[in-house]
Amino acid sequence: WHSPYFYAYFPTAHSFPAMLADMLCGAIGCIGFSWAASPACTELETVMLDWLGKMLKLPEDFLAGTEGRGGGVIQGTASEATLIALLAARSKIIKLIQADHPDRSETDIISKLVAYSSDQAHSSVERAGLIGGVRMKKIPTNSEFSVRGAALKKVLEEDRAAGLIPFFFVQHWGQLHPVHSTASLSSALYVMQRRSGCTIDAAYAGSAFICPE
């Protein structure tokens, strides 16, 4: 992994900041699974993720230091993060539907839920669907490996007509395979306008968004 000729997976496994972070983790030596377990650890995580959000030029609503519902949590892996995002979106859509239709059971709603990703998605995306107990449909990409809004709209409209409930879309901007975008702003905007969840898999090259260019 530390050879200068190693180009698989993540190229930043042995950076200077990573070594400092490992030293800090070893020095703190706590299990920070909740605020009650370690207030300092939790608050450090909150502050540092706000730093990252500001470096990425995210809107204020995405930050914890605001009156909104922003803020982030560090997950163990990128695969775990995709799963957590899917489960959160599933939980939210169930609550929204049951608020409008109290007679509908959670089991009935889950049986109708459909999540979407591109046909270039990492295997962890399909696995998240299996763990979450929902259908995962792959949207075909164009010659530039991008999912266009029109292609996504067509599939969503067909599924709604069939009585299914689209609720989640996984975009890929700089994931492991291939290393470029497999989503477009048009597809993201279409999903967000339809009360659906949206997450971005940028596990490989997402940090490039920090660069001004």
Q: Are residues 24 and 56 in the same domain?
A: yes
Single-letter residue type at 61: D
Please tell me the total count of domains within the chain: 2
- The model carries a pTM of 0.81
Query: Do residue 175 and residue 201 come from a single domain?
Result: yes
In whole angstroms, give the CA distance from residue 15 to residue 127: 30
Stretches in the chain below the pLDDT threshold 50: 179-187
pLDDT given for residue 123 in this prediction: 86
pLDDT at 113: 94
- Tell whether 167 and 134 lie within a shared domain: yes
Give the pLDDT score at 146: 75
* Sequence-ordered list of residues with C-beta below 8 angstroms from that of 185, at least 6 positions apart, any chain: none
Are the C-beta atoms of 194 and 168 separated by less than 8 Å?
A: no
Is the previous residue joined to 178 through a cis bond, with omega within 30 degrees of 0? yes
Are residues 95 and 144 part of one domain? Answer: yes
Q: For position 10, what pLDDT does the model report? A: 66
Note the pLDDT of residue 180. Answer: 47
> Could you tell me the residue range of the domain that residue 98 belongs to?
78-210
Same domain, 26 and 126: no
> Residue 134: what pLDDT?
95
Which of 52, 74, 96 is the C-terminal boundary of a domain?
Answer: 74
